[in-house]
Amino acid sequence: MDPGIAAAAAGVAGCRVREILDRIGGKWSLFVIFRLGEGPQRFTALRRSVDGISQRMLTVTVRGLERDGIVSRTMYPVMPPRVDYALTPLGHTLLDAVGALMAWADEHLAEVDAARARYDARAAHAQAGPAVPPGFPEVYPQQ
């Protein structure tokens, strides 16, 4: 591990780094950052482009990203009100990392699905308990 990364992960700085990583690594943040990397978007267009996100969760996500300086919000005084969201220069610095994570997930989706299926099969088998051969009584130690 890079000594600079190790130092940042230790102590008080580590708590702050974890706080930022919690924000940008949140369930919806990566998708929002990735979509805004394509250019500024209105709220409704952004919501349509992030499959499965509710209006409330998108609001919470963009507010948090705005607070951290990753997303900017521009409100236009028109009727009906128009609000655009865009990545800030700081937000643009995340695009390579976010894009790499999104590409990795897309590339390895089948492998992850197969691993989950194997895990679930093992867990189901373990939960069923050991098979008792015919002719052997089922004896469980009393506790």
pLDDT for residue 8: 56
Q: Whole-angstrom distance between the N-terminal and C-terminal Cα of the chain?
A: 47
pLDDT for residue 81: 86
Tokens read off for 113 = 């699905």
CA geometry: angle 3, 7, 11, nearest 5 deg: 160
pLDDT for residue 134: 63
Please tell me the distance from the alpha carbon of residue 62 to that of residue 72, in angstroms, as a whole number.
Answer: 9
- Domains in the chain, start-ordered, CATH in brackets? 3-126 (1.10.10.10)
Tokens read off for 10 = 């230790």
Give the pTM. 0.74
pLDDT for residue 16: 85
Q: Per residue in 1-24, pLDDT tens?
A: 666 666 655 665 678 888 888 898
Q: Per residue in 32-56, pLDDT tens?
A: 999 999 999 999 999 999 999 999 9
In the three-class reduction of DSSP (H, G, I as helix; E, B as strand; rest coil), residue 139 is classed as coil
In the three-class reduction of DSSP (H, G, I as helix; E, B as strand; rest coil), residue 135 is classed as coil
Stronger pLDDT, 72 or 125, i.e. the higher one:
72
